[in-house]
Amino acid sequence: MKTHLLALLSLFCIGTASAQTPRDERIARAVERMDDGDYDEAARLLESVLAADPKNFLANYETGYLLYMQERYEEAVEVLRRIKRKDYPPLYQLLGNAYDMAGDRKRAVKTYEKGLRENPDAGRLYLELGNIAYAERQYDRALACYRRGATVDPAHPSNYRSLALLYAISTEPVWTLVWGELFMNLERGSGRTSAMSETLAQTYRDNIRIEGDTAVRMTFSRNGRVAREGLRLRIPFGTAVFEVAARAALTADGIPDSLTLDVLSDMREQFVDRYFEKYDRMLFDDDAARPLMDYQRQVKEAGMMRPYNYWVLSQGFPDEFRQWRDEHAVQWQDFIAWFAAHPMSVPDPAAGRRNP
């Protein structure tokens, strides 16, 4: 289990904070102690609830979580197997993870699959199936699981992150840029967001080669296959759209000496213009980039593209970012206020490819 979800669980199991019972409050205190690493006190609080109410779902679930955190995986399995709640995917996730860590990967997979039969839109369970496939080097299966998870549960950011990281070791890192930036917009301000910022910056560095003052080479995609759909063609987004438009944007004012944050910000801003002038109405082999491009256009129309670009790539160019932020403090604060008030609408790949 990668994330503690008691707060969300409490919202729909218990209701408002004013309606909480003393038992609920003890469970909440146990979670606080657990998060602080005070496992003994957390256990004491949970045991006091279970002594009076042995079937309390929250107390049993958090007890299983506590045992998992203590790496007592077989004991966690025993606790979690006894509690039943078909409509709560995190229970299947935690139980499956406990099975896996206890060495029973087959049972873990069966648990995730059972959870999906009961909750077919549980993106977190596709995430875990993808993680197992990845661990077993079944990368195509992992990709399919993560993508399915993003499709059925577009508000769950972890599948976006996993897609970005998987594409980073593939021949199609263009999709690292897409899924990674989508992830950053869905999970703003976390440690994982900062790490993804660094990954995106490195992806640009790894796949753009400035060859003297005569040429720029890009290696974001190897897919050059054009597919036919009726009388129309679906063009490969990576090679026929992204690389073409990005190269033109990067060299619009001549070939730069190096890839600085300022240079990449200019490239990204001009890329938006070129995309909507020429490519938005075309059919692509994969439409995952459309929600991101729509949001980037919204950012640009608000006059926030430069600070947004600096935020996206900040961790890859920390010194340049800090200097720019300090020199443009008012602009940065205006962006932060706008950004907080204008989150990205949850992208919905489930809508399928649109036909311009």
Instruction: State residue 188's pLDDT score.
Output: 95
The pLDDT value given to residue 4: 54
pLDDT value of position 348: 61
d(Cα 354, Cα 356) in Å, to the nearest integer?
Answer: 6
Predicted local distance difference test score (pLDDT) of residue 218: 97
Q: Please give the backbone phi and psi of residue 254, each rounded to the nearest 5 degrees, phi first.
A: 105, 165
Mean pLDDT in consecutive groups of 10 residues from the start of the chain, 356 residues: 45 46 90 94 96 94 97 98 94 98 97 98 98 97 97 95 98 98 96 98 97 90 88 91 97 94 98 97 93 97 98 98 98 98 77 40
H-helix or E-strand spanning residue 216 = strand 215-218
Query: So what's the pLDDT on residue 158?
Result: 97
Q: Which residue has the tokens 């073409």?
A: 244
What local confidence, expressed as pLDDT, does residue 353 receive? Answer: 39
**What are 174-177's contacts with CB under 8 Å, separation 24+?**
174/220, 174/221, 174/237, 174/238, 174/242, 174/243, 175/238, 175/286, 175/288, 176/200, 176/203, 177/203, 177/204, 177/220, 177/242
Q: In angstroms, how far is CA 159 from the centroid of its own chain? A: 5
Give pLDDT, residue 345. 87
Residues 6+ apart with CB under 8 A from 227: 233, 234, 285
- Given this model, what pLDDT does residue 13 score? 47
